[in-house]
Structure formats: structure tokens, C-alpha cells
Structure 1
Amino acid sequence: MSEHMQLSLALCRIGLYTCFRALCCKGPPPPRPEYDVVCIGLTGAGKTSLLSRLCSESTDGIVPTTGFSIKAVPFPNAILNVKELGGADNIKKYWSRYYQGSQGVVFVLDSASSDEDLEAARNELHSALQHPQLCTLPFLILANHQDKPAARTPNQIKKYFELEPLARGKRWILEGSTTDNMEAVKESFALACDCRLPSG
């Protein structure tokens, strides 16, 4: 066998071995970074339904959260461990106990609620934006139930909540949401992640 043919066969064997290694011997993918996020809002805002849909869980028989629950919401570049806090009056006073260690805030409000409930949501958001453990964190504010006839638009919410003067200098995003359009909700979460998580 000529030296040229021997060299060609050797190169072929090396090429096949390299392809085999690439296809069959890959190590596990690098772990996605995890971030802790707190999710707050009044009872009935739709926090549990949105988070359940984000995790591809059934929303049948959902009841308001009492205390808190944690859901791991997967995204291509990260996993968000979202701690949802119940929004009832007897639970709200304990919210701040669960803020420590948070790296972002999701505030969900019912955009079709009564004026009284909307005012209560406004007060809670103002309080959260000024809380020492949250005030430097990015906020994703979801004006939920946009599919309801009485829903106020995100622009109306922004004006009523006085977000421009109150949240000046802070990192926040206000988006409309509904469980009927989870792609938009995922995009809202992705926008919030991009302002906080490293790209990758």
C-alpha cells in the first residue's frame, strides 16, 4: 500500500473518530443559572394562573394562594424561581418577610378591577417600589386580564399609578397580560430577564 493511501486512511480514521466523539460523547449541557424572583399582587389579580401556565401546568381548579408557593419557570438562558405570595389582607402584612434574597419583582394587578381595588393595588405597588429590599431591583408589572371588557390599558394604568415620576431611575417594565396569550407573557418575562440576567 502506498504511503499516500496509508495517509489517506489514517486521516479518514481520525475524521470518523472525531465525528463519533462529537455525536456520541458530548458532556451534559452547562447548567442554566437560577434567579430568585418574588411575585406579589392582590388576591384575584391572576398570579397563580399566569405562573401555572408558564410552567405548562393545568389551571383547572386553581384557588387563591394562601401563604406562598414557589415555581421554577424555565427559560432558554435561565431558570426563575418565582416565589408567589398570597394577596389576601391577612397575608400582605407579612410580604416583606419573604423579600430577602430576591433578585427581581413581578407585580400582577387586575386591570379590570373596581376603582377601590385598583387604588389598593396602586398603594401596594408604591410601597414595594420604595421598600429597602426591593427598590433597587427590576420590576415587571403585569396589567392582567386585558381580555376583559372593563380592562384598562397599560397606558391608563401607567398614568393612574403615576409610574413615570414614582419609578424614575428604577428598572421597570409595564406590560398587559392575559392567560389567553401566554407567548406575550413569556416575552414580558424575557424582557425583564434581559435587564437583569447576563446574556448567553
Structure 2
Amino acid sequence: MYHLISGFYAEWTKKARYNVLIVGLSGVGKSCAIEKIKSIYLKRPPLPPTKIAPTVGQNVFDLALPKLHLHFWDLGGSPSVRTLWAKYYEESHAVVWVVDARDFVGLTDTASDNGKGKGKLVDRDAGSDAAERREESWRILADLLVHPSLEGQPILILANKCDACSSDPDMALGEAERKALTSKIQRWFHQKLAQIGDENTGTSTNHVKESKLPSNIFADDEGDGGDLGTSAQRPMHGFPSSTRDYDWDVIATSAIDGTGMHDAIDWLSIRVQTLNKH
């Protein structure tokens, strides 16, 4: 009887496990971000970035949270490894796409020319290494999004290395500056999605549907609440295979000082559980 009861209890208290893909170009700090998450949640000192080798195949990490387990697959970003990414799509529940936030600093808002609100973002650094990396990152992400196994999955874009994006190299990135950078990157990706919709189906993605979700599910996570109360469910229309809606967002992060890491884990945890209920 004891074993029967203990078995029922173990099954009842068992936490769900969700697989999260972490992908992006080489050198954007995917492995460093995982190492920082480990140090924050396991409460141990992180490895110095110089000691973290680039991921050649995959880097696996299980994060036990109060209500669930997040199983991370950090996949290498080199062209040869990218051909293997699709093998993981079928069993994934969410995708984290990592970019280098420094590659987006050169974007200019045309509203700054006339002083009237937010205009269109212009690549005034066109032809630079940063602009080429932005475009390469977008092309690969766009290809990833049309894969049938990823339809409807939450997509979180981590704008990593935001600590190196301060307008004053002698000062840390301030909260207002971080939010402005995040907003700029969100709008850049939104413009890219709108272009796909216009070119392929004639529909625009300028409509943003708001869905209310809990802001923070972890009572012991302090000081990093972010703006998670409202999730922008931005329709990604116009892909060749179908018309799709993805719940996606951008969070600025730093694998050096931990900025945004709690926000990222909270966002993923809420979305994978919400998706699983539908």
C-alpha cells in the first residue's frame, strides 16, 4: 500500500518537461547565456567567458523550476551544424533565437529627422559587418520559421551583449537605454515580417494582437520583472507554407551581468505552459 500511495504521489507531483532550442549565428553568446542562467538559478559562480568554448555540436542543460523543467538544447551556429538543427524541431516546445545586440545599434529611426513619433527604421549602416550579420541572422530565422514542426511555437529573441551597447563606453547601459534598444530591435523584426507578408500575400503584419498573461510566476525572482504582463502576439503572416501566428518577443540580455535572464526564463515558462493547455 505504501508503494502504491508513494507511486501515485510521485506521479501527481511530477513536473512537466519542456524542450527549448537555443539557436543563432556563431559568436552571439548562446553558450555564455546558458552559463549565466546556470549561475543564477544554481547559485554558483559562472565560468569566465574566456573559459567557455563555442558549441560544436550541442550543449544540454536541465533547469528545474518550481512548476516545470526546462530542457535546453544549445546548438552550434556554424553552417555545418545548422544542417542538424531540424532534427531537434519535432520535440521542441519553444525556440530562443539569439542575436548580438551590438549589430542593431546602427539602426536609425526616421522619426528623429522630423521629430514626429516613431518612424521607419533605416539601415544607415548598410554594408557594414553589423548590417550583414543582421541580414544573415534574419534570413536563417525566416527559414527556420517555415518548418512545419515549429508552427505555433513561442519564439523568444534574445538581444544578447546589451551590456556593450551603451552610448557612453565608460557607463553601463541604463534602463531607459535598454528599453529603447529592445523596442528598436522589436520594430526591426516586425518590419521584416511585414515585408514578407506584403511580398507573399499582400497582407501586412502591422496588426498586433495583445494577450494578457501572468507577469511573474516565481515568487523568489526579484528585481528583474520586466514588462511580462502583456504579451504581444504578433502574427507572422505570408510564409510560403501557411498563415501562422506566433507568440514572440524580444528581451535584451547580458551574459556578463545577467540582465534580462530572469525575464527570459519567466517568458519561456509562461508560454510553454500556456501552449500546452491549448
Q: Tell whether the 8 Å contact from 2:163 to 2:257 is kept in structure 1 after alignment.
A: no
Q: Tell whether the 8 Å contact from 1:72 to 1:79 is kept in structure 2 after alignment.
A: yes
2:157 is aligned to: 141
2:145 is aligned to: 129
| Whole-Å separation in 2 of the counterparts to 1:43 and 1:141 | 15
| Whole-Å separation in 2 of the counterparts to 1:143 and 1:119 | 15
- TM-score, reference length from structure 2: 0.56
What's the CA shift for 1:68? 1.1
Summarize the Cα distance change of 1:155–1:164 in structure 2 as closer, same or farther, 3 Å threshold.
Answer: farther
Gaps of 5+ in 1: 1-26
| Whole-Å separation in 1 of the counterparts to 2:99 and 2:247 | 18
1:88 and 2:78 are equivalent in the alignment: yes
Alignment coverage as a number of residue pairs: 173
What's the CA shift for 1:94? 2.0
1:10 is aligned to: none
Q: Tell whether the 8 Å contact from 1:35 to 1:81 is kept in structure 2 after alignment.
A: yes
More displaced 10-residue stretch of structure 1: 145-154 or 187-196: 145-154
Largest Rg, 1 or 2: 1
Partner residue of 2:262 out of 159, 180, 186: 186
1:16 is aligned to: none
Partner residue of 2:18 out of 22, 35, 41: 35
More displaced 10-residue stretch of structure 1: 63-72 or 90-99: 90-99
- Within a 5 Å distance, the mapping from 1:144-183 to structure 2 comes to 144-149=160-165, 153-161=181-189, 162=191, 165=194, 168=235, 169-182=245-258
1:46 and 2:29 are equivalent in the alignment: yes
Q: What's the RMSD between the two structures over aligned residues?
A: 2.5
- TM-score, reference length from structure 1: 0.76
Summarize the Cα distance change of 1:150–1:80 in structure 2 as closer, same or farther, 3 Å threshold.
Answer: same
What's the CA shift for 1:163? 5.7
Residue 55 of structure 1 aligns to a residue in which SS? helix
Summarize the Cα distance change of 1:178–1:133 in structure 2 as closer, same or farther, 3 Å threshold.
Answer: same
Q: Tell whether the 8 Å contact from 1:65 to 1:85 is kept in structure 2 after alignment.
A: yes
| Whole-Å separation in 2 of the counterparts to 1:160 and 1:174 | 11
| Whole-Å separation in 1 of the counterparts to 2:165 and 2:154 | 30
Q: Tell whether the 8 Å contact from 2:60 to 2:74 is kept in structure 1 after alignment.
A: yes
Q: Tell whether the 8 Å contact from 2:15 to 2:68 is kept in structure 1 after alignment.
A: yes
2:87 is aligned to: 97
AA matched with 1:51: I
Partner residue of 1:59 out of 24, 41, 47: 47
Q: Which runs of 4+ in 1 moved over 6 A?
A: none
Gaps of 5+ in 2: 1-8, 104-129, 168-179, 197-233, 236-244
Residue 153 of structure 1 aligns to a residue in which SS? helix
Q: Tell whether the 8 Å contact from 2:23 to 2:97 is kept in structure 1 after alignment.
A: yes
What's the CA shift for 1:164? 5.6
Give per-residue Cα distances to partners, 1:72-93, cap 9 Å, x unaligned: 1232221100111100122112
Residue 141 of structure 1 aligns to a residue in which SS? strand
Identity %: 24
Give per-residue Cα distances to partners, 1:31-58, cap 9 Å, x unaligned: 3221111111111111101111211263
| Whole-Å separation in 1 of the counterparts to 2:70 and 2:192 | 25
Partner residue of 2:100 out of 110, 113, 132: 110
Summarize the Cα distance change of 1:138–1:149 in structure 2 as closer, same or farther, 3 Å threshold.
Answer: closer
More displaced 10-residue stretch of structure 1: 167-176 or 137-146: 167-176
Partner residue of 1:70 out of 50, 53, 60: 60
